[in-house]
Each structure stands twice: as C-alpha cells, then as structure tokens.
Structure 1
Amino acid sequence: MNEIELLREWDADAPPLSDTARARARARLYQAMRAPAAAPVVVGRRPLLRIAVAGAAAVAVTATVVVAQDAGGNAPRTQTVSATTVLRGAAAEALRTEKPLAPRDDQFIYTKEVIERRPVSGGPVKKWVDESWSSVDGSKKGYVSELGHKQWVPVYQPGQSTWPPSKWSELKELPTDPGKLTATLRDMGGKPDYGRPTRADEWPMVQIFLSGLLRHSVLPKGLRSAAFEALAAAPGVKVLPGRTEFNGHTAIGVRYIVGPPGTSAKDGGRLLLFDAKTYRYLGLRERAAEKGTAYAYDQSQYIVADGVVDRVFQRP
C-alpha cells in the first residue's frame, strides 16, 4: 500500500482518529514513501501526476544558486539566491497575483494544463493539452483529462471528504498562517497542536499534504502564499545550480528531497521551476522512465488558464 492509497481511504464520516491511530497512520505514510516507486496511480478524484505539480516544493534553507541579472543594460551581475528567498518570493508573487474569487457551490473550477514529454535520447516531443472541470462543493459530476485520457468524476457521497480538503467551503477554513497551516495538515483533521514543532520524520507527510493542497489551480485568498511559506520551512531540498529555460522564461530550479538516498523519495528527477526575476511559479519538470522499458523522457507541465465557470465544458 502506498501513501496515496492511504489518503484515499480517509473517511470523514468515521469517528475522529485517536492520537494512537493518527500516529500509526503517520508511520504507515512514511514507510510507504520509503518503499520502491510504483507505477502511477489514480488519487481519488485526480491522478497522482497533477498532485505533484505544485506541492512537493519543500526547499532547503542552506542551498544557494547564482543567477545572472541584467543591471539596467550594463554587464550582467550575479546574485546569490537562497532557497528560502525563492520560496518566499514565490509566496509574495502568489499573493500579489492571486484572483479574488468566491465561487458558488454550484460552479466549477476550470483548469487548462500543457504537458510535454521530450525523449532523453532524442526524437519527437509528445504534447497534451488537458482541460478539467472540478465541482466546487463536490455535489456535481466533474470532468478531468490526464495525458489525453478523459473521464467523468462522480459526485461526493454523503459523508465523503478528502484530506487535504478539496471543497471550497473546507479550503476557506484552513489557516493562512504558514505555521498553523503546517500543523493543521500534519494533524490530519484532528485538533491541531500549534505549539508543537513538526518533527523531521513528519515533514515527508506534510509535504504530501501540501502537494495535495497546491494541486488546485484556484485557492482562497492567501492560502497559496501560506503554503509556499510553509514549504520554505521544510528541511532537505536544494536549489538547482545554474539556470534553465522553461516555457520562454529564464528559470530557477528547485529540487526537492523527502527521503534518504536509496529510497523512492531520493534526491533526483523532479524540479519545480520559478521565474528568475519575479520568483513566480512556472511549472514542473521531471525525468522519468516507462516501467519495464529503456524509454526515458523529460516531462514538463504548466497551467496556461484557470477560472470559475457555471458548467462543465464552459471556459472562462
């Protein structure tokens, strides 16, 4: 069993977990993340691929990267940028550019995302443009596309919920203080202990929950910024040395680490990319391989449009 399957089993209609049961669940999540990687799985109402887009962004506070900047037409100068600076810059940019939305329960969140696969050994690039419509309160059937595979999403059953929350009414209840947000997600729906520091062995689980939260293209005011600030406090992630190009932008890459070498969560592959000047989050790039084959590819994905609409197949 992997950590995503554990999340799928979460049942909001069940009695609240005891401290012992909650600790046991944390341990199972951490053990699952140390297990060998498996094939992609569907996560509740959305595949794992989308969950990974924006959330697994914990960044080491000690890592730095040197980037070149244009000093007003003069020769480029260099500036040492810490990982904390990148994540907190992303938080500030998210707060500055967020959309003041208050969707009704009967509406849908629309997302348009581009995914590209470039073979490592060369060859044609595969490209998908995925559009999805998610019910604001889960009371209406949604429609999602992943790598061109389209499917209807059933309505929530009575008492059904997810963790982290996906209904807008529940998202609005999450704190926008970064420390409190971390504690709330960490304590899995129980009464959060804001005064207790998050232990090192709990951070992998917190990152999974923040990943699930940040998969939403639209969030209540201040919540995305708080999530980036919370991730800036997570240990163990590096800034990629040098610069890269991504979707027409000069980007700083952030590579996350949530487990020791030799585990499925080792240092590698996945990069979160931020604009080198504004620190705006751009998208995800990762190296992957098809299971049982020698085919390896670099996959990029980024959101090009989002908004609130009244019905499935309507666009903002």
Structure 2
Amino acid sequence: MDDLTALRELHDDVPQLTDDARAAARVRLQRAVLQERRPHALSRRLMLRATVAGTAAAAVAGGIVVAVGRDGGTDASRMTPLSAERLLRTAASRSRSSETGLRIPRDDQYLYTKTYITRTYVKGKRTKTWTDQSWMSVDGRKPSWREEYGKVHHDPPLGKHEVRWPPTEYAELAKWPTDPDKLLDVLRMADKDSPTAGRMAFVNACMLMMGPRVMPPGLEAATFEAVAKLPGIKLDHHDVDALGRHGIGVSYPKVSFSFVFDPKTYAYLGLRLKGSSPEKIDGAWRQTHWYYEMRGLQESGVVDRIGQLP
C-alpha cells in the first residue's frame, strides 16, 4: 500500500468538519504560514512589523489568503481569498448552528437586550460609552421600556394602525422570508434595478440587526446570506467592536453602517457607524463633531416582565 492510498483511507474515517471548525482551521493555518516565514534571528519588533505589512498587503489584494480544499482540507495549489461574501455565508452557517433549542417567545412576554455602545470623536479622540437595556413588548400591545444612549424611553403600545420598520414584533418578523433571495426583495423596498436598491437593502439589514435580538429561526442567517448577494460589499480588516474586540467589518459604498464579525469564528459582534452631531453656526445647522460608534450586543433573552433579567 502506498502513502497516498493510506492517506485516503485515513481520511475516510474522519468525520466531516463543521463550518465553525473549518473557519478556525483556516485562521490557524494562516498563523502557521506567517510563523513559518519568520526568520528566527529577527527581533520581535521587526517580526511584528513584517506581519502587519503582510496582512495589509493581503487586504489590499482582496482578503486574507488561505488554502482550502473541497473537503475542508488544505492544498497549496488551491488558494481561496476571504471575501465579504464568503465571510457572510460562514457567519450564516454559524448562526443556524447556534439556534438549537432557541426559545420562542409568547405574545405577552418581553424581548430583553443589553447593548454596549462606545462613541469616539474624530477630533480629539474623546470617547463616550453607554450600557443600554431594553424590554420590548413581544407583540407591541403592552408598554415597553427602552434605553437609548442612557436616556429612558417609555414607549406606549402600538396603535391600531401603527407599524415599525423594520418590525420589532416577533409575530411580524416571523412572517419575513428566510429564503435569501426573497428576503433581499423585502430589504430592497424598491425595484431591484433601482440604482439605490442595493444601498437600501444594506441599510435595512443593519436596521434589522439593530432591533430586538431575539429573532425567528433562520432570519439572522438569511439576512447575512441576502447581504452576501449584494454587489459592491467589501471587507474592512481593522474594525474594533464596542467591547474592544478586533473584528472584520463588511460595508457597502456610501453607507455609514457596517457589520462587524469575529476574525476567528466569524460570529456576529455588532454594528459600526459613522455619524455627527448637529451644531448651529451662523444661524444654520451644520453637521460637525464627527464620530465613529460601535454597538455590541452583550446579552439578549425572553422574560416575563420589565426589569426581569434572562
């Protein structure tokens, strides 16, 4: 028996890798390649510079390059770049795998979320932080208690003809399609051939992820897969989420929002946005005091009353 035959038979006894395992393996491979290339005589500072320079070059070329075979193995002859589409599809697979035992809320319950927000102003690098908690009525028929940048809002029940966009009521979200193509049509809110349809879809996807973070099964994954179909999405390799965790962002041209994912597991970390505060100058309101803001979900769940924790 030759070595190749033995290797094939050994592979047959190994179970298929999960998407999370493959993602982790790719990261370990990338680190191993960088480590192997480092001359042992170089100083630690010089090695750090070389690694940063190599990572930046890979980002400019279109993404971090890893070797991935069809079966999840590695092969130097098959080099696949990490694209925004690939990241989103992996994040979708991870989202589906984490939905086991997902609790379906009753209409009389509340959706609890705890969000950490950090805002860093471009001028002066001054930083402000908030930890917001919210209890949103599942069906919208009871008052809700919501914090926004530390300020408490007592939201009355929705009126008979009132609607929110995107919906916050679980039953309304449950009506949304989990087929990525159909969901993309919903997110576009316009003819798919419109020049602004892609931008509209990306913004609505961000707004959906900013809402109650207890979603019907498959909706979060379908959102990532729908966004993956948008031409023009790109990776931002140096994002940092609200909790200080380094991440990889996915953005769209001329949109101030971007999704942020864990660079190792591709778990969804939160949203990053660029904004400004208005200021009245010479009798006219102008957008000044530009800042970058990160919103990271710390906790979410279903509870029976306002003030209760999951």
TM above 0.5, one fold? Answer: yes
More helix by share: 2
Q: What SS does the corresponding residue of 1:76 show, helix, strand or coil?
A: helix
**Runs of 5+ unmatched residues, structure 2:** 1-25, 36-63, 66-80, 280-286
Match of residue 246, structure 2, among 237, 240, 250: 250
Distance 1:186 1:124 in 2: 36
Alignment map for 1:44-193 (pairs within 5 Å): 69-71=27-29, 74-76=32-34, 78-79=64-65, 80-98=81-99, 100-122=102-124, 124-186=126-188
Deviation at 1:175, TM superposition (A): 1.6
Q: Alpha carbons of 1:253 and 1:230: their partners in 2 closer, same or farther (altered >3 Å)? A: same
Distance 1:76 1:245 in 2: 22
Deviation at 1:245, TM superposition (A): 4.1
Q: What SS does the corresponding residue of 1:71 show, helix, strand or coil?
A: helix
Alignment map for 1:275-294 (pairs within 5 Å): 275-292=262-279, 294=288
Corresponding residue for residue 260 of structure 1: none
Q: What SS does the corresponding residue of 1:284 show, helix, strand or coil?
A: strand
The one-letter amino acid paired with 1:130 is: D
Greater relative contact order (CA < 8 Å, ≥ 6 in sequence): 1
Deviation at 1:124, TM superposition (A): 4.5
Corresponding residue for residue 214 of structure 1: 209
Q: Alpha carbons of 1:97 and 1:313: their partners in 2 closer, same or farther (altered >3 Å)? A: same
Q: What SS does the corresponding residue of 1:140 show, helix, strand or coil?
A: coil
Corresponding residue for residue 226 of structure 2: 230
* 1:37-62 CA distance string (max 9 Å, x none): xxxxxxxxxxxxxxxxxxxxxxxxxx
Q: CA RMSD in A?
A: 2.6
Distance 1:296 1:208 in 2: 20
Q: What SS does the corresponding residue of 1:295 show, helix, strand or coil?
A: strand
Deviation at 1:157, TM superposition (A): 1.5
The one-letter amino acid paired with 2:301 is: G
TM-score when scaled to structure 1?
0.65
Deviation at 1:239, TM superposition (A): 1.2
**Runs of 5+ unmatched residues, structure 1:** 1-67, 189-196, 258-265
Q: Alpha carbons of 1:294 and 1:179: their partners in 2 closer, same or farther (altered >3 Å)? A: closer
Identity of aligned pairs, percent? 36
Corresponding residue for residue 263 of structure 1: none
